Structure 1
């Protein structure tokens, strides 16, 4: 699920006002719980962006058109509770620039949240190709019976699986992650 990984990572980086995560001597990584908080916080914005982007490609009687807004509301109900840990994860991804981390950490939630949400929305709308809309609608329909917390956990689970290094013939071959997820303890 590279689009979700790009969205979560991009939101984290952009909300801190940085083009990329600075390479640290001790690499920074996020726990699965921190990733779940980011996903929980971003999920309503991601769904809204997908609905806006895909509406011209899908039936006005389709799932996203009819049920999408209520799904966004269900996901949004958990946003506030996820924000403190999501914000901490965003700050953690800030790299080595302590001044930037301090600036972001001291911003009010009222200032930081709309910025983070705007970046996520723009990334979703830019990242979705018209040919992906039917699959996105199907995925949303399949996930809709799950409680929002299970949806966020499932997305995190998929991100963790997708983050595993791919070994292609070389022993110990690894790939660089767009979203640094800590190895399970």
Structure 2
């Protein structure tokens, strides 16, 4: 779920802490990665889940909805990556190969942290959240990331990356 940071790092070198992603920018980045995260999670968990599981169905309606929303979110996500990196990156990110390249780097980093023993829990979460629009799910992911960032700042969490998410005051 450390998606915002991982996409930014894949695109360019880190910038000063004052550069941060607003909620809409971070949500766009989450939306772009979600179809591939769901698909790869389904692949990882295939042996543990029933065939009817929405994450096992790479060509199913759930992942299709996320794919369509990811396509709409890509321009905003691309702009967010440029914001975190360098304006020159915009030219590179306009290539048809940029998005698949970024997700092919980021998704294994996220899905690789999933323990197979957690597949049934993930399946229950996805199944229960499936009726919600993808943007709502991206909002839940973002809110969770913001919560973890605050926990880390308060010394209550340690295994949380330094996410470039703006605070509620926009800094």
Structure 2 unaligned spans of 5+: none
Residue 134 to residue 8, structure 1, CA distance change in 2 (3 Å): farther
Tell me the equivalent position of 2:91: 106
Tell me the equivalent position of 1:150: 136
The correspondence for 1:47, drawn from 38, 42, 53, is 38
Establish whether residue 28 from structure 1 lines up as the match of residue 19 from structure 2.
yes
Q: What does 1:127-146 align with in structure 2 at a 5 Å threshold? A: 127-146=113-132
Alignment deviations for residues 6-59 of structure 1 (CA, whole Å, 9 cap, x no partner):
x33223212x155xx24x2x5211111111111111111111111111112223
Structure 1 unaligned spans of 5+: none
What is the number of equivalent residue pairs in this alignment? 166
Q: Which moved more, 1:44-53 or 1:62-71?
A: 62-71
Calculate the TM-score normalised by the size of structure 1: 0.77
SS at match of 1:115: helix
Kindly name which structure, 1 or 2, has the bigger radius of gyration based on alpha carbons: 1
Residue 114 to residue 59, structure 1, CA distance change in 2 (3 Å): same
SS at match of 2:146: helix
Q: Which moved more, 1:50-59 or 1:31-40?
A: 50-59
